[in-house]
Amino acid sequence: MNLIIFASGTGTNAAAIIEWFKANGKARVSLIVCNKPGAGVLNIAEREGIPVMMIDRHTFDDDATVAALRAHAPALIILAGYLWKIPPALTQAFPDRIINIHPALLPSYGGKGMYGGNVHTAVIAAGETHSGITIHYVNEEYDKGNVILQAHCNVLPGDTPGALAKRIHKLEHYYFPRTIEFLLDNMEA
Ligand code: GRF
């Protein structure tokens, strides 16, 4: 089974997913889609010999992108630190096949502007005592698709956004590959 990962950050989640499925052989990451030249995830793709498709807001073409993705017959398209809103052409072409991970407990701290360190800064500023991760389906509304899994962690007194991000990353690296495997194991053909 093929997996496609969309990522535009450092790619630690992408790396965790690649490693997990290399070890159990149930699927393989056949393509990484990236919109950020120089992103860390590109080094991971190169190291692992995984093809990369760069996309650009100005030249993005719905039909060509859907066709390029379809050529991989992906069991799932996984957004792992991907910052653009997915265009409706993609959610329509791959219904219930696109999932995202968000570094907070949706519906709180979701929506525009809430990504990466911004989320953790907002969580700490609000005095929350816990945060967590949300793995969810992607539909046309940003951060609003059905939730697949949430996992919680504490926000500790004196936490910085960086310290909280580390705790969140641990949850993500543990639960994201396992959740993907669960979905693959229970997928209608
Ligand atoms: C993760 O925290 C994810 O939840 C968010 O972006 C971050 C990506 O981190 N959407 P990485 O690039 O996988 O290290």
Distance from the CA of 9 to the center of ligand 1, in angstroms? Answer: 7
**Nearest alpha carbon, ligand 1 atom 8:** 81
Closest residue CA from atom 6 of ligand 1: 81
Query: Is residue 189 over pLDDT 70?
Result: no
Long-range CB pairs of 72-75 (<8 Å, 24+ gap) are 72/2, 72/4, 72/30, 72/31, 73/2, 74/2, 74/3, 74/4, 74/30, 74/31, 75/1, 75/2, 75/3, 75/27, 75/184, 75/187
**113 pLDDT above the threshold of 80:** no
Per-residue pLDDT tens over the stretch 122-151? 999 999 999 999 999 999 887 889 999 999
Average pLDDT, integer, range 58-84: 94
Predicted TM-score (pTM) above 0.90:
yes
Residue ranges of domains in the chain, CATH in brackets? 2-185 (3.40.50.170)
What integer is the mean pLDDT of 69-83?
Answer: 96
Distance CA 56, CA 37 (A): 10
- Are 55 and 34 a contacting pair, CB within 8 Å? yes
Give the range among 65-74, 104-113, 119-128, 160-169 with minimum mean pLDDT: 104-113
Catalytic, 173? Answer no
Q: State the average pLDDT over residues 79-91.
A: 90
**Quick one: pLDDT at residue 146?**
96
Residue 79, token pair as written in the block: 């957004």
* Beta sheet of 2-6, edge-to-edge order: 52-54, 28-34, 2-6, 74-79, 98-102, 130-137, 147-154
Question: Which ligand 1 atom sits nearest the alpha carbon of residue 8?
Answer: 12
- Whole-angstrom Cα distance, residue 73 to residue 10? 26
For tokens 């093929």, the residue is 2
Tell me which of 5, 8, 13, 119 to substitute to probe ligand 1's pocket, judged by most ligand atoms within 8 Å of the beta carbon: 13
The whole-number pLDDT of residue 116 equals 67
Is the pLDDT assigned to residue 117 strictly greater than 80?
no
Report how far residue 189's alpha carbon sits from residue 183's, in angstroms, rounded to the nearest whole number: 12
